[in-house]
Amino acid sequence: MALDARRTQAYFALLETGGLLQQLMEEQLQRDGGLSYLQFFLLARLSEAPGGRMRMTDLADTLLHSRSGLSYQAAKLESAGLLRREPSQDDQRSVTAVLTGPGRELLDKVLPGHVALVENGMFDALDDHQADTLAEALGAVRDRLRALAPSSAERRRARD
């Protein structure tokens, strides 16, 4: 069974668009702040979380990254003073990542270039109706895929 031509075109456009956007973001984030794409999104997610705090397991699930890979990146960010890790207040078995002042300052430094890239590379190509349609369509696909994808804890249990 194969996808029809319209779905094949949409699928490949999505993959290529995501890859190109990620490549351009990697270059901008490295140039403006010495951050990788994953490190930026880790800090950005923390900045959106209440009190700049989030359990590492929840971050791994949000960022769709393995817990071990995320721990490695968090250690690099922690050694740079951009975040700190501490035992969770709710569950002593869990670790919470906390955004630091320098981490927030670095985000503030790289964010203007990041927003300009997204505006110029993505939204300037769309009118308001297309942007609304894209947000609705990708939101539905994201929600469907999140329901199908196992959490980081489920992936780990499957390996053990």
Task: Specify the CATH number for the domain of residue 50.
Answer: 1.10.10.10
Residue closest to 65 by CA, chosen among 141, 152, 153, 150 = 152
Ramachandran bin of 60, using left for φ above 0, alpha for ψ from -120 to 50, beta for the remaining angles: alpha
Whole-number average pLDDT of the chain: 90
- In-domain check, residue 98: yes
Count of domains in the chain?
1
- In-domain check, residue 131: yes
- In-domain check, residue 30: yes
- In-domain check, residue 7: no
- pTM here is 0.81
- In-domain check, residue 28: yes
- In-domain check, residue 1: no
- In-domain check, residue 56: yes
pLDDT band at 158 (very low <50, low <70, confident <90, very high): low
Which domain, by its residues, includes 153? 13-159
More confident residue, 32 or 3: 32
